[in-house]
Chain A
Amino acid sequence: MTAVLRLENITKRFGSLVANDSVSLSLARGEVLALLGENGAGKTTLMNILFGHYVADEGRVEVEGKPLLPGAPHAAIAAGVGMVHQHFTLADNLTVLDNVVLGTESLWRPWQNRAAARNRLDTMSSEFGLTVDPDARVGDLSVGERQRVEILKALYRDARILIMDEPTAVLTPQETEVLFDTLRRLVERGLSIIFISHKLNEILAISDRVMVLRRGKIVHEMPTSGADRHILAEAMVGHTVTRPKAESMVSGAPVLAMQDVSLRAPTSGVALDHVNLVVHAHEVVGIAGVSGNGQVQLAELISGLCRAESGSMTLFGETIANPTPAKVVKLGVGRIPEDRHAEGVIGEMSIWENMISEDLRALPISRRGLIDHAAARARTEAQIERFDVRCPGPDAETRLLSGGNMQKLILARALSREPGLVLANQPARGLDEGAIAYVHGQLLAARERGAGVLLITEDLEELLALSDRVAVIYQGRLSATLDAKTVTPRQLGLMMAGHDPSEEQTGSGGAAA
């Protein structure tokens, strides 16, 4: 086999951090190479060097035997490297055809050859099974379709090497299957693919060979046929980590009850449509769904950031008409927001300032409008200790914390007051295995202590490991809850795509809608 791509001894440093430490890899024609590693292991940095976003401090990149000009994305594109980013780089207000053609034509040409471009796109679509309407506005497409446009964009530029950065993060299990079929077809036609992921089962399903990156170094390399979950997980983390699983428990009184709650979204998107939901003490209720189906509104409602237009919400038996964040926190809701950086913390403030942000106007943190620095610091130090937040000290800037430690800070703030209801919105997103195990352990400990936990997640593995009951949200409608012990990922996947669950399994659970 000839190598179409070769990276030799790539080293990239950011200050004192070594993001890539003498990494070498080669990719054969028609091969799918999986690049596995935790967040921060250096996968994305490596691919950004290959694609010319960064310049390596040391080492070289060769495509088809020829050295690649460093730091120049256009050179990478010309050499046949295409990249599908995790966050799509499409213009929502343009059509599919416009998006694909964008950037391939000289700005100085007064007119475009649309007919030729359309023909080429049509042939490519049918050849690779990537069907999308060339005249549809990208803003109107589903996430899976947008990803197809991204792939078409790369193919239109004659990509022979395709880099896929966490391509399944936004897809339902069924959409992932479709993507994998596409990738197999591309490989049959001689393309080579680098598939970046931290999801083990997907890597086992699609790749020919797998390389594991840890702390910037290649620590493991093997044909996928010889790999299994345990080998890969251990190689990725460096030691064995077992995520905790929920033990069965008798649930208690309801802590959250939503009846017929509807809510319009501020923009035209989906909102909540007659949602019924009950969460009891001593139980975890998991909400699955593809992102953008109303999870944001559901979480905002319980966080106190917006209010229902109709229906009622009851917290601990008390009906809440005009929730505010301060009010729900006071009632005993511990909230873990979806976006740590945008909502969870104020990055440029210190750790102690963030630790007290929810108790700003309460004793002992403040008295008559004056903040008691000593009390705030003492509490922060105790929480840092108890929740094992690794940081230089309470005065350090919060933005400098790693994702896992930032999440521990938020857990400390939300859970230390022993809330009766925990709202955990994507609590493990972007965390490494060790931190995920810690977060899951804390959520289960809260459940054991008597809290009800509402877990909103897109990760079915997480959902099924933690939940007692699960429901699926699709276009603002929440399904009946199902028993987490009997439901299968396949059923959930179908429900996430909008299919009626009653054909597959009958609902069971206290809050059937």
Chain B
Amino acid sequence: MRLELRESPPIWLAGLAPVLAVAAALVLCAGLIVWTGESVLEAYALLVKGAVGSRFALAETLTRATPLILTGLAAAVAFRAKLWNIGGEGQLYMGALAATWLGTGALDLPAFLLIPLLLVAGALAGGSVLIVPALIKNKLRVDEVVTTLLLNFIILLFVNYLLEGPLKDPMSLGWPQAAPIVDEGILPKILAKSRLHLGFVIAIVAAIAIWLVMRFTVWGYEIKAVGLNARGSAFAGINVNGTIIRTALISGGLAGMAGVGEVIGLKGYLTLDLSPGFGYTGIAVAMLAQLHPIGVVVSAFFLAGIYVGADSMGRAVNIPTYLADVLVASSVLAVLVSVMLVRFRIRRG
């Protein structure tokens, strides 16, 4: 058996493949549901209902999708340049930390100034933590998968220390959490009686902005070119190291903004459980979207729906909510296989 490159993959196949892949993942996970003894159709119906079945459910899904869009964009941009940023989680917490530092009373500004300032500060904080691995990669050829991944743990422990020490809110009755964000720094809700906040709009705008950058600008061209063929890019006169640094700033900045959004939009204060792995899930979001910025919005919505829906399903029937993780993982795997099958055809001999 061998793989043969298709000269030009048919368009309908490229469009249909991810849908079929997700369907395949649902069928695979049906096996697990059968194992628990519950009805497959009922379980999936409950999952869909829990994700989008009501105004409340939909608002919850969109709220959950907000940080995933941003971390998904962070991964998508970096991966385009073949900068393997696995550190989205750490960059998210750095963004949240910056928002906490400036947003808990250090600055006395009106909301229309304070909120943008917190977002920019968070983006800079997230971007600058990714600069370090990018520089080490450029200068010393150290694999950024290792450095960005390990930085996550360093940053999480650092946040943990701050929350137990210098940043600990004296009013928190001993809980490791920071002081609340001042009222001027809180993102307004955009849907009454829900948790959905302005961060969702910011995330959508970010996705459109990244799409425009990738498609119409020299920066976007350079990011793509460096990722596809760094040697050819250098030959053509593109500054490869500079492009990597620029990509790191954009990618880390997006992840940092995700952290800001969670602190000033959803929670109101920094805790250690701010993110249940949004940085890591962002990688799955980006892979599912095949690194397309607009696709990231769709796949973030899809994954958020699975998580929110599975929570609700888990309350109604006797199926562990871990099913959501299995569904997400098998969807990503199935999409990766389907992408390969679109590019190649299998032939015997």
Q: Which of A115-133 contact B (CB under 8 A)?
A: none
**B residues less than 8 Å from A353 (CB atoms):** 221, 225
In angstroms, Cα B218 to Cα A225, docked, is 60
A369 surroundings in chain B (CB, below 8 A): 217-219
Residue among A14, A337, A400 making CB contact with B235, cutoff 8 Å: A337
Bound complex: CA A14 to CA B229 (Å)? 26
Q: Contact: A349 with B224, CB < 8 Å?
A: yes
**Chain B residues within an 8 Å CB radius of A305:** 234-235
Specify which chain A residues have a CB less than 8 angstroms from the CB of B225 in the assembled complex.
346, 349, 353, 357
Instruction: Contact check, B231 vs A342: say whether CB atoms are below 8 A apart.
Output: yes
Question: Whose C-beta in chain A lies nearest to the C-beta of B236?
Answer: A357
- Selected from A55, A346, A373, A397, the residue in CB contact (under 8 A) with B232 is A346
The chain B residue with its CB closest to the CB of A343 is B235
How far is A369 from B235 in the complex, measured between Cα atoms in Å?
20
B236 touches which one: A348, A358, A366, A400 (CB < 8 A)? A358
Chain B 195-222, CB-CB to A under 8 Å as 1, else 0, gives 0000000000000000000001111011
* Contact status A361-B236, CB under 8 Å: no
User: Which listed residue (B6, B222, B231, B349) contacts A70, Cβ 8 A?
Assistant: B349
Binary contact track A331-357/B, C-beta < 8 Å → 1, others 0: 000010100001111111100010001
With a cutoff of 8 Å between Cβ atoms, the chain B residues found around residue A400 in the complex are 7-8
Q: Does A15 contact B (CB under 8 A)?
A: yes
Indicate if the CB atoms of A370 and B234 lie closer than 8 Å.
Answer: no
* B7 & A15 in contact (Cβ 8 Å cutoff): yes
Instruction: Pick the residue among A55, A326, A360 that contacts B218 (CB under 8 A).
Output: A360
The answer to whether B228 and A343 have CB atoms under 8 Å apart is no
Given known A349-B224, A369-B218, A371-B216, contact A329–B237 (CB-CB < 8 A)? yes
Q: Tell me whether B231 and A370 are in contact (CB under 8 A).
A: no
Residue contact B236 to A371, C-beta cutoff 8 Å: no
In the complex, A286 Cα to B216 Cα: how many Å? 42
Task: Indicate which residue in B7, B224, B229 contacts A342 across the interface (CB closer than 8 Å).
Answer: B229
Quote the shortest CB–CB distance from B347 to chain A (angstroms).
Answer: 9
Indicate whether A325 reaches chain B with its CB closer than 8 angstroms. Answer: yes
* Residues from chain B with Cβ under 8 Å of A348 in the complex: 228-229
Tell me the chain B residues, 226-253 only, with Cβ under 8 Å from chain A: 228-229, 231-239
Decide if B4 is an interface residue (CB 8 Å cutoff): yes
Q: Which of B6, B218, B229 contacts A346 (CB 8 A)?
A: B229
> Which chain A residues border B228 with CB–CB below 8 Å?
346-349
Contacts of B8 in A (CB 8 A): 397, 400
Secondary structure of the B contact surface, majority rule:
helix
Q: How far is the CA of A98 from the CA of B184 in the complex (A)?
A: 74
Contact status of A55 and B349, CB under 8 A, knowing A342-B232, A348-B228, A349-B228: yes
B235 closest partner in A (C-beta): A343
CA distance A349 to B217 in the complex (A): 15
* A361 pairs with B218, CB closer than 8 A: yes
Count of chain A residues near B, Cβ 8 A = 35
A303 interface residue per 8 A CB criterion: yes
A361 / chain B contacts, CB cutoff of 8 Å: 218
Let me know if A324 is at the binding interface, CB within 8 A.
Answer: yes
Q: Measured between alpha carbons, how far is A370 from B218 in the docked complex, in Å? A: 6
Residues from chain A with a CB closer than 8 A to the CB of B221 are 353, 360, 371
Considering the complex, give the chain B residue whose CB is closest to the CB of A365: B218
Does B232 lie within 8 Å of A345, measured CB to CB?
yes
Whether the Cβ atoms of A360 and B232 lie closer than 8 Å is no
Q: Across the interface, which residues of B come within 8 angstroms of A70, CB to CB?
A: 349
Kindly list chain A residues whose C-beta atoms are within 8 Å of the C-beta of B348: 55
Question: In the bound complex, do residue A370 and residue B235 qualify as a contact, i.e. CB atoms below 8 Å apart?
Answer: no
A180 within 8 A of partner (CB): no
User: B7 near A371 (CB under 8 angstroms)?
Assistant: no
B238–A303 CB distance below 8 A: no
Do B4 and A15 have beta carbons less than 8 Å apart?
yes
Nearest CB in chain A: distance from B81 CB, A: 13
By a CB distance below 8 angstroms, the chain A residues around B238 are 357, 360
Chain A residues within 8 Å of B229, by CB: 342, 345-348
- Nearest B residue to A303, CB-CB: B235
Assess the B235–A325 pair: CB atoms within 8 A.
yes
CA distance A357 to B232 in the complex (A): 10
Bound Cα distance from A369 to B212, whole angstroms: 12
Task: State how many angstroms separate the Cβ of A55 from the closest Cβ of chain B.
Answer: 3
Q: A54-B349, A71-B349, A400-B8 are in contact. Are A325 and B218 (CB under 8 A)?
A: no
List the B side residues contacting A325 at CB < 8 Å: 234-237
Chain B residues, Cβ within 8 Å of A344: 232, 235
Q: Are B232 and A343 in contact (CB under 8 A)?
A: yes
Shortest Cβ distance from A392 into B: residue: B8
Give me the interface of B with A, judged by CB distance under 8 Å: 4, 6-8, 216-219, 221-222, 224-225, 228-229, 231-239, 348-349
A sample of 9 inter-chain contacts (CB < 8 A) reads A71-B349, A325-B235, A329-B237, A335-B235, A347-B228, A357-B225, A369-B219, A371-B221, A400-B7
For the complex of A and B, 9 pairs with smallest distance between CB atoms? A55-B349, A326-B237, A357-B236, A325-B237, A343-B235, A346-B229, A346-B232, A348-B228, A346-B228
User: Given known contacts A346-B228, A360-B236, what 14 new A-B pairs fall within 8 Å (CB)?
Assistant: A15-B6, A325-B237, A326-B237, A342-B229, A342-B231, A344-B232, A346-B225, A357-B232, A357-B233, A357-B236, A358-B236, A360-B218, A369-B219, A370-B217
